[in-house]
Amino acid sequence: MNSDENNNQNMIKTIGNYTLCNTLLGKGSFGKVLLSYDNNKKLCATKIMPSSQVGPENKKHLLNEVNIVSKIKHKNIIKLYYCTKTKNTFYLMLEYANRGDIATYIKNYRQKYKSTLPEDKIQFIIKQVVEGIHYMHDHDIIHRDIKLNNIFLHDIN
């Protein structure tokens, strides 16, 4: 089987200019996140939330979050590229963080190296987090759910 055939089997659907793959990146209380890519083959993360999982009050919060995130432009905050809703599902196409969340990164690091993260890596991560939070606070935005599982890493050594 050639790589094009393999890629086609990995694709599950197209939403706008984005192709969703059958690669699960994460799962949460409202849905799941799949690996996807745009027409230029740039990797993205697509958050998929069935409408049935998003009640009226949560729908209000979701639309508010989309409105806020679509305006944020900072190197340390995941970008929202596109969002849409079909009859039964909300889709958010987001910047892909190739190292996953901090909780998983720490767990994998401990397993691989049998030690905790070195202080210089911790300082680097904290600096990026603080810069992102500072930007949000400067724009009167409060995150409300800062935790290791909600902070994503990209290109850390």
The pLDDT, as a whole number, for residue 156 is 63
What confidence tens digit (pLDDT) does each residue in 82-103 have? 999 999 999 999 999 999 999 9
Q: Which residues are catalytic?
A: 145
User: What percent of the chain has a predicted confidence (pLDDT) above 70?
Assistant: 93
Give me the torsion for CA of 121, 106, 143, 55, rounded to 10°: 160
Confidence of residue 3 (pLDDT cuts 50, 70, 90): very low
Topology annotation, domain 1-96: Phosphorylase Kinase; domain 1 (3.30.200)
Cα 156 to Cα 127: distance, rounded to the nearest angstrom: 13
How far is the first Cα of the chain from the last one, in angstroms, to the nearest whole number?
Answer: 34
pTM value is 0.84
Where along the chain do its domains lie?
1-96, 98-157
Predicted local confidence at residue 53, as pLDDT: 78
Helix (H) or strand (E) holding 96: none
